[in-house]
């Protein structure tokens, strides 16, 4: 138990990622702020994007893969009239057919066609591996990469505002949209496919993730700047608020409390014959309120999915 305390807090941190940082940059800064190497993240955000990014600290890094983070929400801006090599504003312009004469009705019809259960081809400049190498690395090396389509769900693709503009004599349209989708959906690819459907080309110019699973911007905290991180050792406590592991498990999963004898079995990862869990995946707590493990219902028995009991 003392070893678990000495390594610092274990839990989740919900960060409002600033633009210009990779998800790994955020992890590196959090490590300096909290004073531990054991920090991971769930759900990568591109450097251009801002918004909700979930970090796991110490023992909670193992919790990240079990969280129900399948549904995500974004506010985005799509520019019609240009395509880019990356499908966003970070890449060089490939084509510029313009977007003159495109009506709101046509835009909404094309957005409707991209809503629901769809097959989406991910952007070539992505972290998906092709033959053991990241797709973006192959593109940067000059290869032509065409990724296979994959099933995703876009539950909401809504037009919020439209702005017509002139860029160096080219008519473009900037669309502010809201997207709610399943994990694995590329909003950049939605921008590309919307422009393709309208015959204008399209790319993403801004992206802000507003929600991941049950974690929204209302609980996200700004990331302290680099100077704060370098001076963390002089602070009296972590500069990022940590949702402690016990509270995180109770907030994120159905849960139940077990007695002392069962808690010992759970702490050692033993199966629990004849135990009926309240949900297929359940967080188990000891009598003292300590989070012990995630257990899964398998027929009449409860079996360990992941054990977190402090040693």
Catalytic residues: 46
Helix (H) or strand (E) segment spanning residue 264: helix 260-267
Q: Are 298 and 70 in contact (CB under 8 A)?
A: no
Helix (H) or strand (E) segment spanning residue 207: strand 202-212
Q: Is 168 left (phi over 0), alpha (psi -120 to 50) or beta?
A: left
Q: Is the dihedral of CA 228, 234, 236, 238 positive or negative?
A: positive
Closest-CA residue to 284 (of 222, 297, 119) = 297
CA distances from 187 to 8, 15, 69, 110, 293 (A): 36, 20, 17, 15, 35
| Tokens at 77, concatenated | 């801006």
Q: Are 280 and 45 in contact (CB under 8 A)?
A: no
Q: How many residues does the chain have?
A: 311
Rounded distance between C-alpha atoms, residue 297 and residue 275, angstroms: 8
Q: Is 37 left (phi over 0), alpha (psi -120 to 50) or beta?
A: alpha
């Amino acid at each position: 138990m003392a070893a678990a305390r000495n390594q610092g807090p274990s839990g989740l941190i919900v960060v409002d990622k600033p633009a210009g940082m990779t998800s790994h940059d955020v992890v590196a800064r959090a490590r300096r702020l909290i004073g531990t190497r054991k920090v991971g993240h769930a759900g990568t955000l591109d450097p251009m994007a801002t918004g909700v990014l979930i970090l796991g600290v110490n023992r909670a890094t193992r919790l990240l893969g079990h969280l129900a983070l399948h549904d995500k929400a974004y506010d985005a801006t799509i520019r019609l009239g240009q395509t880019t090599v990356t499908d966003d504003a970070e890449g060089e312009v490939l084509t510029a057919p313009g977007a003159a004469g495109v009506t709101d009705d046509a835009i909404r019809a094309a957005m409707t066609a991209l809503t629901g259960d769809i097959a989406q081809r991910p952007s070539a400049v992505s972290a998906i591996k092709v033959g053991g190498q990241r797709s973006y690395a192959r593109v940067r090396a000059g290869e032509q990469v065409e990724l296979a389509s994959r099933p995703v769900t876009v539950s909401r693709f809504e037009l919020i505002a439209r702005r017509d503009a002139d860029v160096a004599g080219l008519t473009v349209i900037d669309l502010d949209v809201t997207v709610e989708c399943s994990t694995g959906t590329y909003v950049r690819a939605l921008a590309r496919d919307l422009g393709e459907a309208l015959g204008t080309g399209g790319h993403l110019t801004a992206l802000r993730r507003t929600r991941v699973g049950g974690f929204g911007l209302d609980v996200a905290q700004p990331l302290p700047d680099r100077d704060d991180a370098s001076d963390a050792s002089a602070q009296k406590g972590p500069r990022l608020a940590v949702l402690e592991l016990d509270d995180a498990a109770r907030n994120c999963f159905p849960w139940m409390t077990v007695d002392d004898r069962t808690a010992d079995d759970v702490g050692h990862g033993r199966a629990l014959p004849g135990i009926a869990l309240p949900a297929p995946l359940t967080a188990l707590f000891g009598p003292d309120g300590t989070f012990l493990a995630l257990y899964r219902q398998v027929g009449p028995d409860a079996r360990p999915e992941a054990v977190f009991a402090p040693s």
